[in-house]
């Protein structure tokens, strides 16, 4: 748990639903921001801290599902709890496949909603931690020289120094020096750790 309470963002076209959910979540200790439409929500700056989205499936203009797709397409990851007045199976499956935490049918029980929000917030925090770590690793990768990057990419594929020297057309000793630099810059104690970091950072083998 973080020190700051996670923010809950509510998007629902129905004023009375927005108001009552805001009130309920407020009473549960969550700061809440409510939006009347997907567009209104999109106009807001992405929240830097932990948060989750409580999203109505059926709205005029952009529907909840369409908003989910749009967020995914623009790389804005969000933990989403859907609420729906009339959820059909197809919509539910689509929403869950696209990564929604839960889909609750209206009228939503407070206990279920808060539990879902907690799960969503936990997921958000975990996702945020993963993202932070990836950003950190990618920052480390950016410290590598182009030659070190090449060596890094080949080391993690399991190649030996001799093989790398052949592949890059350089001396085996030079490979050794680059490799030591990579291990240092990436703060890896072993090849196994380096492989895991590469995996987390999404480093791909450059085509030779």
Partner 1 sequence: MGRRDRPRRATGRPTKRVLATRLRFETLLAELSAGLIHVSAPDTGVAIERALRQVVTFLGVDRGGLDEHAEGRPRLHLSWARPGLEEPPPVTAADQFPWVSRRLREGEVVRFSRLAELPEAAAIDRASFERVGAGSQVLIPLRTGGPILGVLSFVAVRAGHAWPDDLVARLRLLSEAFAGVLDRRRMELSLAERLRFEQLLSSLATAFSHLSAADFDPAVQHGLRQVVDFLGIDRGSLIEFTRDGTAARSWAVEEWMEVGEFPWMTARLQRGEVINVSQLEELPDEAAVDRQSYLLHRVKPQVAVPLLVSGIVVGGLVFSTVGAERARSDELIQQLHLLGEVFANGLARKQGELEAQRLRQDLTHIGRVSALGELTASLTHELSQPLTAILSNAQTAQRLVAADIVDLESVREILSDIVADDKRAAAVINGLRALIKKGEPEFMPLDLNVIVGEVTWLLRSDTITRHVSMSLELAPDLPRVHGDRVQLQQVVLNLVLNGFEAMREPHAGARTLVIRTARDGAATLRTVQDSGPGIAEKDLGRIFEPLYTTKTEGLGMGLAIVRTIVHAHGGAVGVENNPQGGASLHVTLPVAPEGAQ
Contact region for partner 1 (CB under 8 A) — 41-49, 82-90, 176-184, 200-208? 82-90
Contact region for partner 1 (CB under 8 A) — 15-23, 125-133, 183-191, 200-208? 15-23
Dist CA 31 CA 5 (whole Å): 7
Contact region for partner 1 (CB under 8 A) — 45-53, 78-86, 143-151, 187-195? 78-86
Q: Is 92 in the site for partner 1 (CB under 8 A)?
A: no
| H helical segments located in 28-88 | 38-42, 64-73
Interacting residues of 1 by C-beta distance below 8 A, sequence separation 6+: none
SS3 (DSSP) at 58: coil
**Least distance between partner 1 and beta carbon 62 (Å):** 11
Dist CA 100 CA 93 (whole Å): 10
User: Using CB under 8 A, which of 109, 131, 172, 193 touches partner 1?
Assistant: 109
How many residues bind partner 1, per CB under 8 A? 25
User: Using CB under 8 A, which of 21, 38, 71, 154 touches partner 1?
Assistant: 21
Dist CA 128 CA 108 (whole Å): 27
Contact region for partner 1 (CB under 8 A) — 59-67, 121-129, 158-166, 188-196? 59-67
Q: Is 89 in the site for partner 1 (CB under 8 A)?
A: no
Residues across the chain = 208
Strand segments, DSSP code E, in the chain are: 7-11, 32-35, 51-56, 80-84, 102-105
Instruction: List contacts with partner 1 (CB under 8 A).
Output: 14, 16-17, 19-21, 23-24, 27-28, 58-60, 63, 83, 85-86, 105-111, 113
């Amino acid at each position: 748990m973080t020190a700051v309470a996670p923010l809950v963002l509510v998007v629902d076209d129905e004023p009375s639903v927005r108001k009552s959910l805001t009130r309920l979540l407020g009473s549960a200790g969550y700061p809440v921001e409510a939006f009347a439409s997907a567009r209104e929500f999109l106009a807001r700056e992405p929240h830097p801290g932990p948060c989750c989205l409580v999203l109505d499936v059926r709205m005029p203009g952009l529907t909840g599902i369409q908003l989910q797709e749009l967020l995914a397409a623009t790389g804005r990851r969000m933990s989403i709890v859907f609420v729906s007045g009339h959820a059909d199976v197809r919509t539910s499956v689509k929403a869950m496949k696209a990564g929604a935490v839960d889909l609750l049918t209206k009228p939503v029980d407070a206990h279920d909603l808060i539990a879902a929000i907690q799960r969503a917030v936990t997921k958000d925090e975990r996702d945020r931690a993963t993202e932070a770590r990836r950003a950190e690793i990618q920052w480390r990768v950016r410290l590598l020289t182009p030659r070190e990057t090449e060596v890094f990419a080949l080391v993690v594929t399991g190649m030996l120094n001799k093989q790398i020297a052949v592949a890059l057309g350089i001396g085996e000793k030079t490979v050794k020096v680059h490799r030591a630099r990579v291990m240092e810059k990436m703060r890896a104690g072993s090849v196994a750790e380096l492989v895991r970091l590469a995996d987390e950072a999404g480093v791909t083998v450059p085509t030779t």
